[in-house]
Amino acid sequence: MLGRTATEEELFAELAFCLLTPQSSAHRCDEAVVGLRASGLLFGGSSSQIAAHLRRRVRFHNHKARYLVEARRLFSRGGGIDVRSSLAGLGPLEARGWLVEHVEGLGLKEATHFLRNIGRSGDLAILDRHILRNLVAQGALPRIPRSLTPRRYASVERRFQAFAAAVGIPPAELDLLFWSDATGEVFK
């Protein structure tokens, strides 16, 4: 997990990772971001150059390349990247809302994932299929919803928070525990 000492470039690379993960392997996305950084494409490549790098690594590489370029543009200030100032003074819920509203391609789950990975998620939940399955298995949720509209996401998140409080595990830690239980590993 990145913390207060993370550089702006590290924060943006983490945001890039979270933009790439929907419907793609987390490991492949992490490898893709490492490669983008090493090649200089993450901070200087065009959408088509990034898409070429992402091809065969992540699904929807053309869209995600465009999202990365737009996010880079959004956070560019004074010749560099500045993610922190956009989130300064915002609590977890407000920061997530700001990210979802301003970063194209970033939904509630991915925005929460980013905030968790930089140590700013508070009690928010990354409601992916692993977490939802565990909530059903633990009786905290009757069934996995067919879709997660913003309203439904908030409702399931409240159930997750209540369950976390009942078992005495902070939500960010319970989220990671459920994910690692489902996947057999601890990874981002």
Q: What is the DSSP letter of 125?
A: -
Active site annotation includes 128: yes
From the candidates 30, 64, 82, 109, give the one annotated as an active-site residue: 109
Opening angle at CA 51, ends 25 and 101, nearest 5: 75
How far apart CA 165 and CA 43 sit, in angstroms, is: 40
For tokens 């928070």, the residue is: 161
From the candidates 128, 175, 181, 188, give the one annotated as an active-site residue: 128
Chain centroid, CA 160 distance in Å: 18
- Residue 13 exposed, middle or buried by CB count within 10 Å (0-12, 13-18, 19+): buried
Active site annotation includes 188: no
CA atoms within 13 A on the CB side of 119: 8
Q: Which residues contact 23 (CB under 8 A, 6 or more apart)?
A: 59, 60
Residues carrying an active site annotation: 109, 128
